[in-house]
Amino acid sequence: MLTGSLPYPPLQGGALRSFGIVHGLHAAGHEVVLLSFHEGALNGSTPLTQYCAHIETVPPPRRRLRQRLRDLLLSGQADIARRLYSHELARCLQALLGEQEFDLVQAEGLEMACYLPLARAAAPQARLCYDAFNAEYALQQEMGRIDRADSGRWPAALYSLLQVPRIRAFEQRICCLADLVIAVSPEDAAALQTLCPEKEIPVLPNGIFVERYTSSSAQLELGEAALVFTGTMDYRPNVDAMLWFVKQVLPLVQARVPEAQLYIVGQKPHNRLTALRETAGVHLTGRVPQVQPYLHSAAVYVAPLRMGGGTRLKIMEAMAAGCAIVATHTAASGLHPQAKRALLLADSAAEMAQTILTLLEDEAKRQMLGAEARRSVAAYYDWSVLIPQLLALYGRERVE
């Protein structure tokens, strides 16, 4: 397995998915060799050493802004195709493939898929799997559409305009090269299918270990009207969601419930969010050891995403914690229809604010939604349900 960083601790979406897969494959009796970027020595206490037969790491590549701008203007290549390319990791991969015969080489996300052509050349007997975290060209297209509506975001919109055809071409190459392409949602599968129409693209949704979120012993004093959002806070869709929510939705909520507080929980807050620290009732936590205490202390979990793809692990975590959730249709895309019934969906600022206010005033409804959310996420998104599906996909591709 090729991952962009060590998938432990699993503090963001890609790591949560990759860690679940590594754990599940080990439990099913498979030997996993993990090749990742990591700075410094491997922490001996990490459970990855229990689940992997071998772990190899190299320092992450340092790609300066000047290099990115040069490539943007002169190379014609997708930024994401070069973001995590490292000669050192490439040599390490070749060495591993030369020392041992592998049944499967799996790249986690498009940033690591740049190594699949090398794997094909070095180990032609191995099956190649591309685990697509998103249909990246479609995601970039959507981000550009949203940013075009704000003149202050026109440079980002121009970046997306330039990147979409490049990402599409790179993604098409990878999808056609891989023996197995896995999407995380039906919507992403349909988008990727257009790149390689002759290839069937199955869906394995994102998953979590549900039991790790059900305990409510660790709670915080956030107030009776605490609104919580979680995510990696330098990720463009998350930044956009919080800027929009604080500007358009939160004032409507606080007009009726002045004590309402918004907790933005997640690592690496982007500079664009700095001004929110001065906004009354808004708290940016930065990285926290665990999100569970915030989830269990929330009155309402909000997911006001206006762009993005896949299935939102942040929503699954909130569901497993028994949160009452208000989300946009974009945030809920990819979820099983039964799981969607446990969410309240709203897209406009006024509709979202009113939905939140209704929940803040109705504890019984919050508890009912939370209980249904727990049932749904356990039925469809626990790793105990998903790993057998993944093994079936491997078997269908004749990986033994």
Per-residue pLDDT of 327-362, as tens digits, reads 999 999 889 999 999 999 999 999 999 999 999 999
DSSP 280-341: TTEEEEES-S-SHHHHHH-SEEEE--SS--S--HHHHHHHHTT--EEE-HHHHTTS-HHHHT
Closest by alpha carbon to 114, among 161, 65, 63?
A: 63
Beta bridge partners of 203: 183
**Exposed / middle / buried, residue 250 (Cβ in 10 Å: 0-12, 13-18, 19+):** buried
Stated pTM of the model:
0.88
Q: What is the pLDDT of residues 141-160, one digit of tens each?
A: 999 998 998 888 898 899 89
The model's pLDDT over 112-130, given as tens digits with 9 standing for 90+, comes to 999 999 999 999 999 999 9
Which of 159, 194, 140 has its CA nearest to residue 309? 140
CA distance 83 to 61: 8
Phi and psi dihedrals of 229, rounded to 5? -130, 140
Q: Domain 2-207+383-396 adopts which CATH fold? A: Rossmann fold (3.40.50)
The predicted-structure confidence for 36-45, as pLDDT tens digits, reads as follows 999 988 877 7
Band (310; pLDDT cuts 50, 70, 90): low
Burial of 33 (0-12, 13-18, 19+ CB in 10 A): middle
- Span 212-238, mean pLDDT? 89
Q: Are 57 and 38 in contact, with CB atoms under 8 Å apart?
A: yes
Are 96 and 35 spatial neighbours (Cβ–Cβ below 8 Å)?
A: yes
The CATH number of domain 211-380, selected from 3.10.450.50, 3.30.1330.20, 3.40.50.2000, 3.20.20.60:
3.40.50.2000
> What percentage of residues in the chain have a pLDDT greater than 70?
97
Distance CA 105, CA 211 (A): 30
pLDDT value at position 399? 40
Q: Does residue 397 surpass a pLDDT of 50?
A: no
CA distances from 42 to 8, 50, 99, 289, 298 (A): 11, 13, 22, 19, 35
Residue 230 has pLDDT above 80, yes or no: yes
Sequence ranges of the chain with CATH classification 3.40.50.2000: 2-207+383-396, 211-380
| Residue 298 confidence (pLDDT) above 80 | yes
pLDDT category, 391, cuts 50, 70, 90? very high
pLDDT in the model for residue 344: 98
Residue 368: other Cβ atoms inside 10 A: 13
Q: How far apart are CA 177 and CA 199, in angstroms?
A: 10
Upstream peptide bond of 10 is cis (omega within 30 degrees of 0): no
CB neighbours of residue 60 within 10 Å = 16
